[in-house]
Amino acid sequence: MVLVGLMVAPAAAGPQGYIEDQLEYGYFYGTWDQSPNVMLFAGGEAKEFCEGDPGTAPLRVFLRDDGSVDLKVNDKNQPIYLYYNDNENPDVPLWLEDVCNGTLNPELFAVGTADLKVRISVISESLVDVFNSVNGTATGIDGREYKVRASADLIVEDGVPLGNPEDFVDLKLTEIRR
């Protein structure tokens, strides 16, 4: 869906008016109109989300004159993992909760890598504009290849995403014909 974790380690000064750092992240995306529902995890497998072991990517932090802060990532070859959710509830966080408490043991149907783009604009203490996307390919356990595009574009107010994930999360999975 959105942002599972965002932690910025101690920063190192960098050129061109930004600070270089590392972003620990874990993003998940889902479909709500398919049967079965498809879920994509970027940064780690579902069980790694339970263990709090997210992926990392190079981060650039821009401090703006108006007091806002922009966090940006543009990285290649980040790991992606695809699952089917054939439960009656297509909600990714509830599905993940079942994985973490051991009532669900999902199997991957495809693994791959993707380009990761992230823009997090911290407008104020209570208002954050978030965009993240992955664009890549994955190979299924059956040998099929897939083109994968996913994104989330949302506003977070007081730590809560505004709106319904169906409206701000997009996931497209296309089988590549060879």
Domain boundaries, the chain: 7-175
User: CA torsion 155→76→171→80, rounded to 10°?
Assistant: -110
State the sign of the Cα–Cα–Cα–Cα dihedral 131, 136, 142, 144: positive
Mean pLDDT (the chain, rounded): 87
Report the pLDDT value the prediction gives residue 87, as an integer from 0 to 100.
Answer: 66
Report the pLDDT value the prediction gives residue 106, as an integer from 0 to 100.
Answer: 86
Element of type H or E holding 46: helix 46-50
Query: Which of 17-31, 79-93, 109-123, 151-165 bottoms out in mean pLDDT, i.e. has the lowest?
Result: 79-93
Percent of the chain with pLDDT over 70: 88
Query: Which of 58-62, 98-102, 132-136 bottoms out in mean pLDDT, i.e. has the lowest?
Result: 98-102
Report the pLDDT value the prediction gives residue 15, as an integer from 0 to 100.
Answer: 44
